[in-house]
Amino acid sequence: MDAIRLDVPFTVPLLGEAFVEAGTPLLTAALGFSWRVTVKKSESQRLSIPISSPYLKKALSKFLASQGIEGCYSITGPHEKGPDQDFVNAASLLYLTECDAIEAAFPGLLKRAGPWDFVTAARALTSLSGGIVASRQGEGFLSVESTTFGPICLRILPSRRLDGTPVSRFSKEFPALSDPMWHLMAHLVLEGVGALQRNDLTALGRAFSLEVSLLYATGQIGIADLQRLSEIRSLGSKIVLCPALVADVAIPVEGSLPDDFQVVRFSYEGVKEIEG
């Protein structure tokens, strides 16, 4: 392989991304737009991959080596040096393995990953497979059977500095509240899975709105975020909160689409090779 061009679907956390370190499940989905990238390989005695996170780079390198992947790789495209770089590059490199059991084989290398590395890995695996994926740190990844196509509205926000351990801080400051809070959040993610399996966007919207309340209660978003979300006429809305992606996500009311949102649909196509 000298160079190949890939179409890499954009993926977004739907529920649970801000609570991964508390052991809460995570729900991620591929959306109907993508990055187009070029993967090039040069000969090298050492495997070299363009992943900025030290932990994720080590885990991914170990997995690639186990699949016989070697050489020095570069991945170019409009995602370069942006917040999506690691998830796009990871999805592209995993595609090269042609491994049919990535969801079973790769998670074992992520058992000690930090929460944000795990979210990046989940987005990469969701991009690779397309569709909707449920995951939990220490347990693994599972594709969710669904025929839901949306629509869903997305508004990318300016990145913000995030406390690396907001959930741990809340657990320490409010020990009597934290366990019930994380238990409730886990049920919300499972409700989101059920809603997508039933094609029930109203129920998914309710889960979004309830998660917003928990984000506010745990100090991860402020009153300005609540006010902004309350102005969206929708079946439910939330703020996606992780270092690589800060965004408002909403399930639109039929016939009502916010002007400043990008309207997309869930996609069930994964990474694919393109010509030209």
CA distance 220 to 238: 12
Domains in the chain, start-ordered, CATH in brackets? 3-274 (3.30.70.890)
User: Cα separations (Å) of 101 from 55, 63, 67?
Assistant: 21, 12, 11
Give me the mean pLDDT over the 17-44 stretch: 92
Cβ(228)–Cβ(66) below 8 Å: no
Q: What is the pTM of this model?
A: 0.93
pLDDT of res. 1: 60
More confident residue, 68 or 134: 134
* Percentage, residues of the chain above pLDDT 70: 97
Q: Tell me: the pLDDT tens digits for 64-117?
A: 988 888 889 999 999 988 889 999 999 999 999 887 778 777 777 788 888 899
More confident residue, 69 or 29: 29
253's enclosing H/E stretch is none
Helix %, strand %, coil % of the chain (to 5): 40, 25, 30
Give me the mean pLDDT over the 247-264 stretch: 84
- Choose among 188, 64, 65, 69: nearest CA to 124: 64
Q: For residues 14-46, b (16+ Cβ closer than 10 Å) or e, as one string? A: bbbbbbbbbebbbbbbbbbebbebebebeeeee
Bridge partner list, 132: 29, 144
Q: Nearest 5 degrees, angle CA 202-CA 184-CA 107? A: 90
CB-count burial class (<10 Å; 0-12, 13-18, 19+) for 126: buried
